[in-house]
Chain A
Amino acid sequence: EVQLVESGGGLVQPGGSLRLSCAASGFTFSRYWMSWVRQAPGKGLEWVANIRQDGSEKYYVDSVEGRFTISRDNAKDSLFLQMSSLTAEDTAIYYCARHITIFQVVTNFDHWGQGTQVTVSS
């Protein structure tokens, strides 16, 4: 059974940093593109960043470019999101999600974790 379990969320002050983790199990983690998707309180879904299987390609939504860094450790079946210079607008539930890839083409998400809450407030 595919499982994605996020951790690392919490309350952080504006301007602070936080590192999220996602532990993957039930599949060969190193074969999949992975993403972080967030959801602000009462709002819709927003894709944040994704990373290629070997970590050689990384993409970000403009609003986090330069502040967030996605990474992975295939030996530990883990995905990470290092977040810095946090603002209230980054307050959200952060989900780890697995991509389906067809002939090297990244497509939709087929599995999601339960999310970890990040709250940026003084």
Chain B
Amino acid sequence: EIVMTQSPATLSVSPGERATLSCRASQSVISNLAWYQQKPGQAPRLLIYGASTRATGIPARFSGSGSGTEFTLTISSLQSEDLAVYYCQQYKDWPPLTFGGGTKVEIK
């Protein structure tokens, strides 16, 4: 099973500032990685797939990078509506499909 580890657990960022979230895989997933955003009380929403491709309708301030075992989700200029928990997920080797534990982004 591929274990996904996200850091930090909580990130506090001021509006307009950059937020950098990390995700590490226990073995290479190449670029078979997705990021999801889950706002309070809502279902997850796809942000990024293929490690770096934005999903339809996702603002350009969200970007993904990395390959192999190290990945980053960057929010270039944090907006108040970006308050959420962000999850990475690998789909290279399954079952099981696995998620990271999440990073909660707070607005400072």
* Same complex: yes
A contact residues vs B (CB 8 Å cutoff): 35, 44-47, 50, 59-62, 95, 100, 106-115
Contact A107 B96 (CB under 8 A): no
Chain B contact residues: helix, strand, loop or mixed: loop
Q: Nearest Cβ distance between residue B67 and chain A, in whole angstroms?
A: 15
Q: Does B101 contact A (CB under 8 A)?
A: yes
Query: Which residues of chain A have C-beta atoms less than 8 A from B89's C-beta?
Result: 45, 108-109
Q: Does B62 contact A (CB under 8 A)?
A: no
List residues of B (52-89) whose CB comes within 8 Å of A's CBs.
Answer: 55, 85, 87, 89
Which positions in B face A, CB cutoff 8 Å?
Answer: 32, 34, 36, 38, 42-46, 49, 55, 85, 87, 89, 91, 94-102
Distance in angstroms from A28 CB to nearest chain B CB is 18
Residue in B closest to A45 when the chains form the complex, CB atoms: B99
Which A residues are in CB contact (< 8 Å) with B34?
A: 107-109
Smallest Cβ-Cβ distance to A112: which chain B residue: B43
A100: B residues at CB distance < 8 A: 49
State the CA gap A106–B96 with chains docked (Å): 12
Measured between alpha carbons, how far is A36 from B36 in the docked complex, in Å?
Answer: 16
17 sampled A-B residue pairs with Cβ under 8 A: A44-B85, A44-B100, A45-B44, A45-B99, A47-B95, A61-B95, A95-B43, A95-B44, A106-B94, A107-B34, A108-B34, A109-B46, A109-B89, A110-B49, A112-B44, A112-B45, A114-B42
B101, chain A: closest CB distance, angstroms? 5
User: B residues within 8 A CB of A50?
Assistant: 95, 97
**A59 engages B95 (CB within 8 Å):** yes
B residues less than 8 Å from A107 (CB atoms):
32, 34, 49, 91
